[in-house]
Homo-oligomer: A and B are copies of this chain.
Amino acid sequence: MRPVRSRSSPRPGSVAGTNETRTQPADITSAAIASFEGCSDARLQELAQTLVRHLHAFAVEVGLTQEEWEAGVGILTATGQITDERRQEFILWSDSLGLSMLVDALANPLPAGATESTVLGPFYVPGAPERAYGENMAEEPAGTPAWVYGRVLDLDGHGIAAAELDVWQNGDDRLYAVQSPEAPEEHLRGRFRTRGDGSYAFLAVRPVPYTIPDDGPVGAMLDATGRHPWRPAHIHMIVRAPGHRTVVTHIFDAASGYLDSDAVFAVKPSLPREFVPRAADDPERPDGVEGAWCSVENDLVLAPGEDARLVVDPGRTA
């Protein structure tokens, strides 16, 4: 480790500062980086030194004032205070600053042709009920019925049999089942398997836009900077099949608002799909559906390989 500056010797008893080499901001940055020179874990050393370099470069570039530094400490403290078993405001910061999507993009580069990934979000709960082909996920009325169908394919366009689609979505009250004390636990959740030709289908509802939690520090940031807290309408799914890379993705409603300004930057141009309005007397109307409904076709293409992604993020679901 290094002292903050070593070019001049202290002169005990002298008038402080006179004829001294004074410590400059760059000296402090160098000392902080050098403090990790003894780290025996090369990766940890790289992370620590690079973090310090960028943290300091940010402060120098903006000329961070002490009042702004204090405000930052206050924001982090408030973020810690609002975070508990049911609310993870640090992840919300990561989401709302685009870091979560960036880490996903860095960690999960998928080959051309494979369905693109997007954020897991905070509302995934493992262990959704296994449901049959075409079964209705809505345990109670939750909006316009939506027949979701398509195929799970490999990169060569061949259907993948017995792939699993782990699906969850919100209803027209904007809430996921996990957010709603009154909703049945299995409401708007389900795990579906593809048939022998890779085809799947299930009955969902047309999703609606909703806001990320905006009553905490992240909400205050969005408000202060002129951003909104809305996410465009979407259905979540995780698609898994042996010998293939798991993909965590969304079907976005191509007609939704906020597609161009998702609060968590999760929209990729390949992901929106058209929800096609269908009449009550449409001959393809699924069993049990009354009144107007819609349908959406969505093929999913998996890359070969093993699952490189941690599907369940303990920080989100703890």
Chain A positions near chain B (C-beta within 8 angstroms): 1-18, 20-25, 28-29, 31-32, 35-36, 38-41, 44-48, 50-52, 54-70, 73-74, 76-77, 79-81, 83, 88, 90-91, 94, 97-107, 110, 112-116, 153, 157, 221, 224-227, 252, 254, 259-262, 265-274, 297-301, 309-310, 313-315
CB nearest to A58 among chain B residues: B54
Q: Are A260 and B1 within 8 A (Cβ)?
A: yes
Asked if A31 meets B265 with Cβ closer than 8 Å, knowing A36-B227, A226-B40, the reply is yes
Q: Are B35 and A112 within 8 A (Cβ)?
A: no
Q: Are A101 and B4 within 8 A (Cβ)?
A: yes
Q: Are B69 and A94 within 8 A (Cβ)?
A: yes
CB nearest to A20 among chain B residues: B270
Residues of B near A103 (CB, < 8 A) are 59, 64-66, 69
Q: How many copies does the complex hold?
A: 2
Partner pick for A68 among B47, B98, B102, CB 8 A cutoff: B47
**Smallest CB separation, A25 vs chain B (Å):** 5
CB nearest to A254 among chain B residues: B12
Q: Are A73 and B315 within 8 A (Cβ)?
A: yes
**Smallest CB separation, A108 vs chain B (Å):** 8
**Smallest CB separation, A101 vs chain B (Å):** 5
Partner pick for A12 among B56, B73, B273, B300, CB 8 A cutoff: B273
Residues of B near A28 (CB, < 8 A) are 98, 101-102, 105, 265
Q: Are A32 and B265 within 8 A (Cβ)?
A: yes
A8 to B116, CA, bound (A): 14
CB nearest to A68 among chain B residues: B47
Asked if A225 meets B44 with Cβ closer than 8 Å, knowing A3-B267, A54-B58, A273-B12, the reply is yes
**Smallest CB separation, A63 vs chain B (Å):** 6
CB nearest to A228 among chain B residues: B1
**Smallest CB separation, A299 vs chain B (Å):** 5
Q: Are B115 and A8 within 8 A (Cβ)?
A: no
